[in-house]
């Protein structure tokens, strides 16, 4: 594969252990498909510097800028160079995967030029499915999840939101794919301007996927998997709950609270597709 058709990777860090970062970087750099690894350290007191990775010629470190937020951090990495790879992987440090899955993913994306974004099947550490391929949320999804999680109505609403009717045995187009592993066609990511930087964190993956969905296919590709320990920090910390709420308000202000015609259209397409695959 030509050097310009390889994969670039960006990871946003925040107060992570240097040993953990080095292990991940070493593993990523072992792949001949990966041409660049961008590390964006959002820690107020930087954890990493360029000197820590002098033995890795694929690595570029951004640090000392403070906490930019998740999406803005990834934008900093992606738009830092005019020379773009064919594909760009946005991945969390805590996501584990066999490096060989990149071969499958690249082959699928090469053979399906209409696919602009891909997420593999995401598993919990106990190997159960993490339902992070979802429908676009409505305010009721967030309200019930936050305040009425034990009610019967919540379970009905949440089952629909998390697409419980989807068994992850086939490829599904979805307007909401998790930000833990976003494999993007670089030209498409660039065309939409990357992440919307109004969000500090949380809904930036929803916003990005639905904008990518409007210009191509955004798919859950369940034939390969990654493992991710979902922290759900906003349910454990008042500070993170506040950040989550503020940014979801920004999301609904942008796309619509009760009236969001695209949400209804895109979500209905999921139901129709699943019904046709039964």
Nearest to 48 by CA among 38, 61, 57, 60: 61
Cα–Cα distance for residue pair 57/72, rounded to 1 Å: 24
Residues 236 and 128 in one domain: yes
Compute the distance between CA of residue 259 and CA of residue 265 in angstroms, rounded to an integer.
12
Domain boundary, last residue among 58, 74, 93: 93
Residue 202 in this model has a pLDDT that exceeds 50:
yes
Q: Are 104 and 224 in contact (CB under 8 A)?
A: yes
Which residues face 134 on adjacent strands?
176
Q: Are 202 and 231 in contact (CB under 8 A)?
A: no
For residue 222, give the nearest of 128, 122, 109 by alpha carbon: 122
- pLDDT tens sequence across 210-268: 999 999 999 999 999 999 997 654 445 788 889 999 999 999 999 999 999 999 999 99
Mark whether 117 and 164 lie in a shared domain: yes
Residue 25 resides in a domain: yes
Q: Are residues 64 and 82 in the same domain?
A: yes
CA distance 106 to 184: 10
Do 107 and 80 sit in the same domain of this protein?
no
Residue 184 inside a domain? The answer is no
Residue 161 covered by a domain:
yes
Q: Which CATH number do you get for residue 23?
A: 3.90.550.10
Same-domain pairing of 271 and 152: yes
> Which pTM value belongs to this model?
0.94
pLDDT tens digit sequence for 42-70: 999 999 999 999 989 999 999 999 999 99
Q: How far apart are CA 186 and CA 8, in angstroms?
A: 9
Phi then psi for 231, rounded to 5 degrees?
Answer: -80, -30
Final residue belonging to a domain, choices 28, 63, 93: 93
Q: How many domains does the chain have?
A: 2
81-102 confidence digits (pLDDT tens) = 887 899 999 999 999 999 999 9
Residue 183 lies in a domain: no
| Domain region containing 39 | 1-93
Structural domain ending residue among the three candidates 61, 93, 125: 93
- Same domain? For 209 and 123 the reply is yes
Phi and psi, residue 8, nearest 5°: -105, 150
Query: Is the domain of 86 the same as that of 221?
Result: no
Looking at the structure, tell me whether residues 43 and 153 fall in a common domain: no
Q: Based on the domain organization, do 2 and 128 belong to the same domain?
A: no
Q: Same structural domain for residues 116 and 218? A: yes
Q: Verify that 227 and 168 share a domain, yes or no.
A: yes
Q: Is residue 134 part of a domain?
A: yes
pLDDT given for residue 238 in this prediction: 84
């Amino acid at each position: 594969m030509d050097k310009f058709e390889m994969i670039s990777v960006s990871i946003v860090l925040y107060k992570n252990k240097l040993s953990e970062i080095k292990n991940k970087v070493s593993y990523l750099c072992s792949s001949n498909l990966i041409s660049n690894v961008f590390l964006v350290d959002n820690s107020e007191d930087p954890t990493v510097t360029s000197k820590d990775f002098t033995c890795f010629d694929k690595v570029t470190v951004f640090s000392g800028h403070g906490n930019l937020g998740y999406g803005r951090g990834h934008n900093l990495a992606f738009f830092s160079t005019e020379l773009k790879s064919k594909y760009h992987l946005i991945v969390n440090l805590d996501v584990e995967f066999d490096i060989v899955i990149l071969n499958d993913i690249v082959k699928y994306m090469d053979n399906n030029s209409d696919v602009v974004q891909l997420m593999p099947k995401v598993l919990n550490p106990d190997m159960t499915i993490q339902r992070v391929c979802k429908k676009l949320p409505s305010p009721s999804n967030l309200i019930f999840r936050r305040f009425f999680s034990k009610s019967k109505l919540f379970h009905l609403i949440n089952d629909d939101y998390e697409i419980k009717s989807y068994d992850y045995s086939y490829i599904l187009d979805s307007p909401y794919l998790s930000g833990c592993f976003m494999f993007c066609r670089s030209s498409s990511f660039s065309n939409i301007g990357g992440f919307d930087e109004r969000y500090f964190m949380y809904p930036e993956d929803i916003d990005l996927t639905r904008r990518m969905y409007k210009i191509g296919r955004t798919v859950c590709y369940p034939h390969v998997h990654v493992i991710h320990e979902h922290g759900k920090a906003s349910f454990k910390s008042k500070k993170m709950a506040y950040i989550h709420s503020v940014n979801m308000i920004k999301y609904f202000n942008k796309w619509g609270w009760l009236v969001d015609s695209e949400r209804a259209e895109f979500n209905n397409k999921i139901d129709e597709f699943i019904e046709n695959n039964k």
